[in-house]
Amino acid sequence: MTSLTRGANSPIDTATTTVEVTGARQGTVDLFVFQLGADLKVRADADLVFFNNPSTPEGAVTLTGGQVTLHLAAVPAAVETLAVAVALDENVPGSLADVPGLSVALTQAGGDAVEIPAEGLTTERSAVLLEVYRRNGSWKVRNRSAGWSGGLDALVTEHGVNVDETPAQAPEPAQSAVAAATSATVDGDGVRTVPGEAKLSLVKREKLNLQKREVAKVLLSKGAANPVGRVVLVMDNTGSMSKRYRSGEVKRIIERMVPVATQLDSDGNLEAYAYAQRFVKLPDVTVADADTWVNTYVHLRGRHGGIDFDAIGGTNNEIPIMEEIIGTLDKATAVPTLVLFFTDGGFNAKAQITALMRTASAYPAFWQFIGIGKSSFGVLEKLDTLTGRLVDNAGFFAVENIDKLTDTALYELLLSEYPDWLRAAREARVLT
C-alpha cells in the first residue's frame, strides 16, 4: 500500500475508485464530497454529496455508508477536482485532531490501495482530507489535510455552497393537517421529511436531519415509531427569564424543538404560546421560517410581529395557559398531543395545578414540563407520584443550561416518557 504524506500526490487511472474514511461516523464525524470547477467552487448545491444527497446528478460520485465510489470516467468535463472532506457535528466537542485514526484509503479496481493519513491538523473542526484532480488529461490524488476551525459552515462556504435559505417566495396555499401528513415522507430509519424542508440550504437540511435522526432513535428505542399528532410549545415569558432571552438561549431552545415537531406533528409545525400572568397564542413555527420566527416572536417586552408582549404581564400564572391548552384537546378525534412546557420556576398554585392535571389525564395530551435553572419547581417535582389520574400524563426534568446538553441527551430527556403515555392512553381508551 502506498502512503501519501501531507501535500504528496500520486497518479491514478480512470477505473472505478472507492474511498473509505476511517473515523467518519454519521452524527459525529460526517463525510462530504465536493465536485469543484477550476475555481475550486461547486457549480451548484447538487455538487455536494453527503448522507442527505448521496449522489451527484450524473452518478459520478456516490456515497453509501462511510464509503465513496468515484466513477472518474463519468465526471463532468467542467469538474476539475473531487474533494473528500469531513466535519465534526456541532454537538461534538474538540477538533478533528482528537479523532483517533482519522485517515483515508483509496482503492482502484485491480490496483493498489493508497493510504492518506490526516496530518498536521490542530484546531480544525472540518477539513479536506484528499483531492482527486485532473492533471494534463490524467487523474491524480493528493493528501490535502487542510481545514477550518469554523466547522461545517466554513467548509461549505469555502467551496461555494449556499448556507442561507432560498429567497423568500409567495406563501403557498394552506394545507389541511391531513394533507400535510400525507405529503410528508418517512425513510427507512424513521426520519420524517416535510415539504418545507426543501426551502432550506443543504447545510441547514443536514443539521435538521441529524437532529431528526436523534428524535427518531429515541422513539424507536422506546417502541414508538412515527406517532404523528400535535406538538405544542409553551415558553415562560416572565421577568425572571430576562437573562435567557437576552443571551439568545430561548431562541436556541425553540430552534431545537423544531425537529421534534417535524417528526411528531401532522403538518410538521410547532404550535407556540408565550405565557406569564396571561398568555398569547403565537403563529406556528414552521421548518422553513424558524430563523425568522425566533427573531420576530422571541421577546419579553414591547410589540413585535403584531404581538403586545407587555400585555401578558411579568409574573407567572400557569392556570390560564393550562386551561387554554386543555380546551384545545378533542376527546372525539383523540389526536395525540405532546405539550413541551418550559418554565424557570413558580408553579405555586399546587391545588389548582394538581386538579387540572387530574382532569387533563382523560384528554389526549402528554405534558412534558422542562425546568430551566436552579429554582424550586414546586408541584412539578412531584408529578410522578400524583394520584387520581386516569393515566400518567406528565413528566418533568430540570436542567440549568439547555445549551450544554447535546441533541442526543436533550431529546432523550424530552421524549423518554411520551411513548409510555401513548401505550397507556390507548389501553385506557384516551387514544383510539
SS3 label, residue 403:
helix
187 in the same domain as 117 = no
* Average confidence (pLDDT) over 324-348: 92
Instruction: Indicate whether 24 belongs to any domain.
Output: yes
Q: Is the pLDDT of residue 410 over 90?
A: yes
423 in the same domain as 351 = yes
Instruction: Indicate whether 230 belongs to any domain.
Output: yes
Instruction: Indicate whether 103 belongs to any domain.
Output: yes
Last residue of a domain, one of 130, 158, 186: 158
Q: Is the pLDDT of residue 168 over 60?
A: no
Domain containing residue 302: CATH number: 3.40.50.410
SS3 label, residue 238:
coil
SS3 label, residue 35:
strand
- Least confident segment among 51-55, 283-287, 330-334, 354-358: 51-55
SS3 label, residue 29:
strand
* Average confidence (pLDDT) over 246-253: 95
Of 162, 170, 165, give the one whose Cα is nearest residue 198.
165
Q: Is the pLDDT of residue 164 over 90?
A: no
Q: Is the pLDDT of residue 125 over 50?
A: yes
Q: What is residue 53's predicted lDDT score, i.e. its pLDDT?
A: 85
Q: What is residue 167's predicted lDDT score, i.e. its pLDDT?
A: 39
In whole angstroms, give the CA distance from residue 288 to residue 292: 9
Q: What is residue 90's predicted lDDT score, i.e. its pLDDT?
A: 75
Burial of 119 (0-12, 13-18, 19+ CB in 10 A): middle
Q: What is residue 181's predicted lDDT score, i.e. its pLDDT?
A: 44
Q: How many CB atoms are closer than 10 A to CB 73?
A: 11
Number of domains the chain is built from: 2
Sorting pLDDT into bands at 50, 70 and 90, what band is 165?
very low
Q: Is the pLDDT of residue 415 over 80?
A: yes
* Average confidence (pLDDT) over 331-336: 93
- Least confident segment among 68-77, 151-160, 197-206, 354-363: 197-206
- Least confident segment among 27-36, 277-286, 305-314: 27-36
In whole angstroms, give the CA distance from residue 40 to residue 37: 5
Say if pTM beats, i.e. exceeds, 0.85. Answer: no
* Average confidence (pLDDT) over 68-72: 93
Instruction: Indicate whether 164 belongs to any domain.
Output: no
Beta strand 103-108 pairing with 113-117: antiparallel
Q: What is residue 26's predicted lDDT score, i.e. its pLDDT?
A: 63
Q: What is the per-residue pLDDT across 185-204, written as a single tens digit (0 to 9) for each? A: 888 788 999 988 888 877 78
263 in the same domain as 132 = no
Residues 6+ apart with CB under 8 A from 85: 31, 32, 33, 34, 126, 127, 128, 129, 155
Q: What is residue 163's predicted lDDT score, i.e. its pLDDT?
A: 67
Q: Is the pLDDT of residue 58 over 80?
A: yes
Q: Is the pLDDT of residue 176 over 60?
A: no
365 in the same domain as 263 = yes
- Kindly list the distances between the CA atom of residue 280 and the CA atoms of 175, 205, 242, 243, 307, in Å, as whole numbers in the listed order: 24, 30, 18, 21, 8
Q: What is residue 180's predicted lDDT score, i.e. its pLDDT?
A: 45
* Average confidence (pLDDT) over 261-278: 96
Contact (Cβ atoms closer than 8 angstroms) between residue 17 and residue 58: no
Residues 6+ apart with CB under 8 A from 201: 45, 161, 162, 163, 164, 165, 166
Q: Is the pLDDT of residue 170 over 60?
A: no
C-alpha grid cell, residue 286: 414552521
Domain containing residue 39: CATH number: 2.60.60.30
Last residue of a domain, one of 127, 158, 189: 158
Of 66, 64, 41, 42, give the one whose Cα is nearest residue 53.
64
103 in the same domain as 251 = no
Sorting pLDDT into bands at 50, 70 and 90, what band is 432?
confident
Scan for cell 473531487, then name that residue: 82
In whole angstroms, give the CA distance from residue 256 to residue 212: 10
Q: Is the pLDDT of residue 174 over 60?
A: no
Q: What is residue 126's predicted lDDT score, i.e. its pLDDT?
A: 94
* Average confidence (pLDDT) over 207-231: 90
237 in the same domain as 130 = no
379 in the same domain as 235 = yes
Task: Report the mean per-residue pLDDT for the chain.
Answer: 89
C-alpha grid cell, residue 334: 383523540
Instruction: Indicate whether 16 belongs to any domain.
Output: yes
Of 8, 36, 3, give the one whose Cα is nearest residue 114.
3
101 in the same domain as 198 = no
Instruction: Indicate whether 71 belongs to any domain.
Output: yes
Q: Is the pLDDT of residue 350 over 90?
A: no
181 in the same domain as 154 = no
The end-to-end CA distance of the chain, in Å, is 62
CA triple 214-196-152, angle to 5 deg: 55
Instruction: Indicate whether 293 belongs to any domain.
Output: yes
Sorting pLDDT into bands at 50, 70 and 90, what band is 175?
very low
119 in the same domain as 11 = yes
Instruction: Indicate whether 432 belongs to any domain.
Output: no
258 in the same domain as 385 = yes
Q: What is residue 169's predicted lDDT score, i.e. its pLDDT?
A: 40
Of 418, 276, 282, give the one whose Cα is nearest residue 342.
276
In whole angstroms, give the CA distance from residue 380 to residue 321: 16
SS3 label, residue 47:
helix
Domain that includes residue 311, residue range: 177-427
Contact (Cβ atoms closer than 8 angstroms) between residue 95 and residue 124: yes
Last residue of a domain, one of 96, 130, 158: 158
Q: What is residue 182's predicted lDDT score, i.e. its pLDDT?
A: 44
SS3 label, residue 367:
strand
Q: Which residue has the higher pLDDT, 30 or 249?
A: 249
* Average confidence (pLDDT) over 96-114: 86
121 in the same domain as 27 = yes
